[in-house]
Structure 1
Amino acid sequence: MKCLNNRAESHLTGQVESEVDGTANGGWVNHGYRGSPPPLPRAVSTIYSPRPHFQGSSDGAYKLDAPRNPEEPSSSSSSSSDQLITKKRRGCCSFVKGLWGTAWTENTVNNREKFVRTTLRELLVYVLFLVDVCLLTYGMTSSSTYYFTKAMTNLFVTTADESGVTFQSIGTMEDFWTYVHGPLLDGLYWTRWYNNQSLDRGDQSFIYYENMLLGVPRMRQIKIKNNSCQVHQDFKNEIIGCFDVYNDKKEDDLSFGLVNGTAWTYHTEKDIKGSSYWGLLTTYSGGGYYQDLNRTKEDSANILTDLMDNLWLDRGTRVVFIDFSVYNANINMFCVIRLVVEFPATGGAIPSYQIRTVKLIRYITTWDYFILGCELVFCVFILYYVVEEILELQIHKFSYFKSIWNILDILVILLAIVAIIFNVFRTVKVDNLLGKLLEQPEIYADFEFLAFWQTQYNNMNAVNLFFAWIKIFKYISFNKTMTQLSSTLARCAKDILGFAIMFFIVFFAYAQLGYLIFGMEVESFSTFVKCIFTQFRIILGDFDYDAIDRANRVLGPIYFVTYVFFVFFVLLNMFLAIINDTYSEVKEELSSQKDELQITDIIKQSYMRAFTRLKLKKEKISDVQKALQSGSGEIEFKDFRETLKEMGHADHEISAAFSQFDRDGNQILDADEQERMKMELEEKRDALNAELNNLGKNYEEKVLEKSPAAPNEPKTSSSRTFVDREQFLRLTRQVLQMENCVAGITSKIELIMEKLELHENSKRIVTNVDSDKSSSDRVDRTKAGRSSRKPADCPDAM
């Protein structure tokens, strides 16, 4: 019985110590939630930093060594090397877990607090990544880009000559030649000031006095073969030639006209390093007949006159391109301009233009080099997320792809890798192009390829930034308010998909009807694709009813009224009804659910643990000071140890504190060592008091924010809803003592129950033995009776 009582007391003591030690590591976690991590098996640090010794076992596990007594000799070099290896292994694992630990790599299913903390850490890292991406994206653009584009548009597109012809008003080949001899040449060559004085820059043109013309402009046309289409038998005598609509297989590649230059001989796309172009009518190849202009206005005018006189444009011409590039050093921007005039088989001309303002030279100013630093940080982030996704993929295998967020992660990473590769390619390519252009300034500066891919690069970054912002929902999904959108869309996805089939059947039926009825007269219905977008515009209220009515006075109103009624009033509102109904269900379910662990709860728990941890440190320092004051003169280790053990301190803590100040190692603290120990204890005690005060102020401010005073009640100290810090800590200690007492009583009751079970088992065993003996006696008596009766029965049997 005495042994059992000793075991119960030791169990109670260990439980109390673990409770006190665990208050700094989850002791104040609200266990009413899904779960909380168990307290770490370590003591709360005070003025010393006890370093537990680990040793490897045969099964690969690591266990804690017993605390070393200062009187014992130091460990061997082998034990210290084992400790070093152990620390390295534990440090590496904790580093990997801390750096790449996510909700997908750690087991957070039954631990709500760990899930929220891990998600918050992921969110913090991702916010830093998002800030870096925003700096990169917006650092590559500028408001000057718009004004640069607008200036070039006004000069080459909207400027008219004396006859009033502008680029946008070109309708015939004659208008084209009028434009190139007038507004085009006037806009390309700026060699004099407005007072007719020379710019003193030779034959180099500076458009608007600020934008340098790079190289020389180029004109290129694409022709179609004669007799590329069939003429009806009745018109063969009147119509000699037939030129079909553009088709790359029917493109003319024969020399014509003067046959003595690039303008009259065909060049393939590979020869001139061209690229295809998507025009208003069709897509054109990068080959054709081209003519480079000169660096002076007079020479270029002579070249254009020569082309016009020799009928460079004819019935076979399907498109003409005018390409040139300018550079503005003030804002470090390139403007690549392409003026396009398409000549359809119907006759006439359709002008269009494309102006790309891009930043091809990246690193000049201090801000540019700051963006370079952000690009390097971006590469580090991408490497970090690549490793993270690989770890998650190794753990979850193919189930990893079941989450839409993981697919979004991979998409963002792939787009980022492509952007990094293109960034390097663009930098090298621009350097080569500029070097070649500086050596030969009279050649055509072909920046069209780079401008096109730079634009695609910017578009890709814009899409990537969009996905990066959407990805934030992945990290704030632990809040039930934030999950309403995703839950609503996920729940009504099947209903919307099924209803969308019916909606688009009706929608495309109306699109075909509009194309067939109005396609010949109304531009917005001229193609089936335009019909689709026009009907979306009608839903939003942007439409031209008069054009529909003019095209067909009977079917036009019928089409419009029935479309608005069925599509807008019926089908579209059914879409909204499905979403609203599902949203109401989701909101009702979420409101009835039990509140899970929130961020505010974690913040409160952190404050509570910090208060308790600092208070325990302060109390242990006070215990050490009492132990110093209890001694007279020199203090021996055994007296110091006995005093602190009575106060509830562990052996390894006492040994660490004593050895820290026992400089000579004689296991005795002399007067100087005691004075030095007292001074350091006072300093640490003052520091802890200051930290407690600061933490208390911050906590009070947080409580005030969460629990403000009543509207009509003055904001005084009496209206606050929190208790004093000292009172709170005193109540905390009382609760711990109560829990320890209850635990002790519970353990004693368990021991009593075990004894009662043992007693009951022993009684059952005795009862069974007695019953077995009695039954065996009855069997023996029965056998004896039978044997005594058998001789008397034998004669009768005979």
Structure 2
Amino acid sequence: GSEGVAGGCTVSRSYRWRDASSVVGGSMVGPNHVYDGSGYVVTWPNELAAASAMLEEVQADGFLGAETRALWIEFSLYNVNINRFCVVRLLFEQLSSGAVVPYAYIRPLSLLWYDTASGLSWLLLAEVSLLFLVLFFLSLEISAMRTHGMAKYWSDLSNWYDWPSLLGFGLIGFCRYRTWWAMSKLKKQIAEEGVMSTAFFSFHEVLEWADYEQYGLAVDTLLVYLKVLQFLAGVPHINTLLYTLRRARDQLAHFTFCLVVLVIAFASSFHLALGTQLHEWRHMGTSVMSLLHVTLGQVDVPTLERESPLGVFLYLSFLFLVVLVAVNIFLSIVTDAYTAEKAAAIHVDLFKVLIDAARRQIHRTRTSINSLKARWKGVVAEASFNASTSFKQYVGERTTALSASFKSRSSSVRGMSRQVHMVRVRVTVAVAVA
């Protein structure tokens, strides 16, 4: 199904106004405004003939008019051949001048990750394996924290980098679970309503959590690949580059502060001078991005000159102060730091450095594993000791009981032996008398 919303319109028939909390489609962000989702809602049928008839009826009713500020249409598609969903949101904004600005949001999604014909999802197995791998590294970090102590552990700057990366996987897993849960709820709703139902099935919640998962995965992927630089820190040439940034970090920090001030100053000036005439300077965010385009040479100078007399002056000022002066200062800072670091660097054997780095990493992993083994052996030994103590106590009690029983039986046997002996004596005496 699909759904259309038009806000602020005057209609000739009864269309029910719905607030943002009751609209399942959620809010809508357009090029010019942000809409909370409230408005007059019309649900369209799936059949072409019925949809065409309803479109003519809505048009005859004057559903859209001069008071309408936005109309958006939302629908979802599914292609069974490639197992992909597609969420489509079409927005038409009517400005105060009467112009209509179109905007389209098309998002393909893979949401049936674990639904396979064989019933066994290799993707699920791979994700579970990754989960156990992350848990293993978390156990190593926790073991190192307990072994070396909190102060020594957090004094290593690499640990401050490891934890965001590991916790990022946890956040991604949580978003995947929420996406799966929302999709399961939606599948249940579709099964109850029927595939050919005219009801509107909103993928807004699924899309929101899927976007969060993609954002987290993108950031965590960057962190994981940057981690490679730490393992390559012992390589001579890469080591020189990394220590160049470390040597120049103070100067780069002050330079970055001055550059940010310049960018904010020029973004504000361009926004005030051209914000009402040109779309790319309409607010501070777009102004900053437009300045980045200027540094790359993507600028329309005749348009700046035509729209405002300050346009060309601001452009030339920014070009001189930032592109010509600031960029050269940045290059000078990095060049001086690289020259000093290269002069201080000593010649090392690259193969030996790589072997030493691998040995250090193996030693660190082995130490953590041995620590975990030692703790596990302690737990097993304690459990074995408790079990052995209980067993020994049980054996002692049984031995004492058997010994007492044996003594009792021995006494009985001796008593019976005496009685037999006395009988024999009596028989002997009787025979003798006879």
Fold-level match, TM-score > 0.5? yes
Secondary structure of 2:45's counterpart equals coil
* Structure 1 residue identity aligned to 2:316: V
* Structure 2 residue identity aligned to 1:219: G
Where does residue 436 of structure 1 map in the other structure?
189
Deviation at 1:551, TM superposition (A): 1.7
Where does residue 179 of structure 2 map in the other structure?
426
* Structure 2 residue identity aligned to 1:281: N
Q: 1:481 aligns with which of 237, 241, 248?
A: 237
In the TM superposition, what whole-angstrom CA distance separates every residue of 1:541-577 from its partner, at most 9, and x where no partner exists?
Answer: 221112112223x533333223212211111110111
CA distance in 1, matches of 2:161, 2:318: 37
Secondary structure of 1:471's counterpart equals helix
CA distance in 2, matches of 1:602, 1:516: 55
* Structure 1 residue identity aligned to 2:145: L
In the TM superposition, what whole-angstrom CA distance separates every residue of 1:17-38 from its partner, at most 9, and x where no partner exists?
Answer: xxxxxxxxxxxxxxxxxxxxxx
Q: Is 2:92 the partner of 1:337?
A: no
CA 332–561 in structure 1, closer or farther in 2 if over 3 Å, else same? same
* Structure 2 residue identity aligned to 1:548: L
CA 426–499 in structure 1, closer or farther in 2 if over 3 Å, else same? closer
CA distance in 2, matches of 1:526, 1:456: 28
Contact in 2 for aligned 1:405/1:471 (Cα 8 Å):
no
Please list, as runs of the form range in 1=range in 2, the aligned pairs for 1:505-524 lying within 5 A after superposition. Answer: 505-524=261-280
Contact in 2 for aligned 1:340/1:352 (Cα 8 Å):
yes
* Structure 1 residue identity aligned to 2:142: I
Secondary structure of 1:357's counterpart equals strand
CA 437–476 in structure 1, closer or farther in 2 if over 3 Å, else same? same
CA distance in 1, matches of 2:104, 2:274: 28
Say what the alpha-carbon RMSD is for the aligned residues.
2.8
Where does residue 643 of structure 1 map in the other structure?
none
Contact in 1 for aligned 2:231/2:357 (Cα 8 Å):
no
Structure 1 ranges of 4+ moved more than 6 A: 365-368, 592-596, 601-604
Deviation at 1:402, TM superposition (A): 4.6
Secondary structure of 1:270's counterpart equals helix
* Structure 1 residue identity aligned to 2:324: F
Higher percent of residues as helix: 2
Q: Is 2:253 the partner of 1:491?
A: no
* Structure 2 residue identity aligned to 1:221: A
TM-score w.r.t. the length of structure 1 is 0.42
Q: 2:145 aligns with which of 373, 388, 393?
A: 393
Q: Is 2:314 the partner of 1:562?
A: no
Deviation at 1:361, TM superposition (A): 0.4
Instruction: Specify every segment of 5 or more residues in structure 1 that has no aligned partner in the other structure, as ranges.
Output: 1-215, 225-254, 605-798
Instruction: Specify every segment of 5 or more residues in structure 2 that has no aligned partner in the other structure, as ranges.
Output: 360-434
Where does residue 426 of structure 2 map in the other structure?
none
Contact in 1 for aligned 2:281/2:287 (Cα 8 Å):
yes
Where does residue 458 of structure 1 map in the other structure?
214
Deviation at 1:539, TM superposition (A): 1.1
Contact in 2 for aligned 1:266/1:288 (Cα 8 Å):
yes
Q: 2:331 aligns with which of 576, 580, 592?
A: 576
Q: 2:162 aligns with which of 403, 409, 414?
A: 409
* Structure 2 residue identity aligned to 1:582: A
Deviation at 1:405, TM superposition (A): 2.7
CA distance in 2, matches of 1:381, 1:464: 15
Deviation at 1:506, TM superposition (A): 2.6
CA 596–375 in structure 1, closer or farther in 2 if over 3 Å, else same? closer
Please list, as runs of the form range in 1=range in 2, the aligned pairs for 1:86-485 lying within 5 A after superposition. Answer: 216-223=1-8, 257-259=12-14, 264-363=15-114, 364=116, 369-394=121-146, 395-398=148-151, 400-440=153-193, 441-485=197-241
* Structure 2 residue identity aligned to 1:538: V
In the TM superposition, what whole-angstrom CA distance separates every residue of 1:264-321 from its partner, at most 9, and x where no partner exists?
Answer: 2222333233422222123221332211011222221222222222222234432212
Secondary structure of 1:591's counterpart equals coil
Deviation at 1:418, TM superposition (A): 1.8
* Structure 2 residue identity aligned to 1:585: A
Contact in 2 for aligned 1:356/1:455 (Cα 8 Å):
no
CA distance in 1, matches of 2:151, 2:118: 46
CA 269–603 in structure 1, closer or farther in 2 if over 3 Å, else same? closer
Deviation at 1:537, TM superposition (A): 1.2
Contact in 1 for aligned 2:72/2:92 (Cα 8 Å):
yes
CA 417–308 in structure 1, closer or farther in 2 if over 3 Å, else same? same
Percent of counterpart pairs with the same letter?
A: 21
Where does residue 344 of structure 2 map in the other structure?
589
In the TM superposition, what whole-angstrom CA distance separates every residue of 1:143-185 from its partner, at most 9, and x where no partner exists?
Answer: xxxxxxxxxxxxxxxxxxxxxxxxxxxxxxxxxxxxxxxxxxx
Deviation at 1:517, TM superposition (A): 2.4
Where does residue 598 of structure 1 map in the other structure?
353
Contact in 2 for aligned 1:358/1:455 (Cα 8 Å):
no
Secondary structure of 2:18's counterpart equals coil
CA distance in 1, matches of 2:250, 2:320: 25
